[in-house]
Structure 1
């Protein structure tokens, strides 16, 4: 029997994203599930797959800060907040920044802010640059299961045909630390 595992090339993954599909890709510590943040149907499919309530909000991961400016309120950041953020980026630190009023609720959930990260990890950067915008980023696992740390673990949880970028994670042990951009306060230990 032929192996139906879908290790997709970058072009195929970008096409899947454009068709509002959810994909899996390696991040700094675990595999992430991602989709087009501008597609409500793609985000709803991701939330349904994860059995995650929309109210929790999501993280966007980007190749550079400019990819985030359609979603976050840059004017809400003072010089100290900008200094904190840019001192840590690109890197594995996620910042919660006030969202623009136009940012969809399917991304922010019940919050007036959005969690965002500019990654230094090349597979994430390649995906975001090729797609031309940030990706939704949440751990690739079903509710109650551990986050996948390899493409094989993604396939075991989500199926052999799930579209996945089959590259190694960076090797960090914990998911990204999350901090509040305005106060610098810790939200989730990394």
Structure 2
């Protein structure tokens, strides 16, 4: 996904294009040869930049791989902050997840594009990437808890407990959908099951998190 935005200066535009080229090239190489078989030097050479230049954009090799999903960082917190007036946080998050399912957003696990499936296989089969994903999840929890405190009636501890459960539910639903697609093609029945699973999950959250569901 392009990061270019209207009104961006030429210098910043060049930086954005270089960052995107580095990430896209890295992921292409990772998927073709395997994450552990590709060095940072390989990626830099393929984009025709120096290693120091690459490290100015991406401090670690793992960052090159995870840049593709970086726009989802803090998404739950954004949904809570931008929800309609009078709408409960859980209701907003439930609606957002269903919308992402309908859009076949890879973050829900309900996307059968071969490259997306290969990318997810790489993420969940590479220990260093799994470790970095745990850091992403921790940051998502922190941001969501902060949003719940600032926009709703939840106290700090309740917000942290709720955020941990919500983020965990998102991961379980996405992994379930991903494994389901690994065993079957994407069909109407699979989509309906994914929506039903999401409703069941949010019903359980709703029954236990009354502080943020009303």
TM-score band (shorter)?
Answer: under 0.3
Report the structure number with the largest CA radius of gyration. Answer: 2
Q: Which has the higher contact order (CA 8 A, sep 6+)?
A: 1
Larger proportion of helix: 2
Q: TM (normalized to structure 1)?
A: 0.23
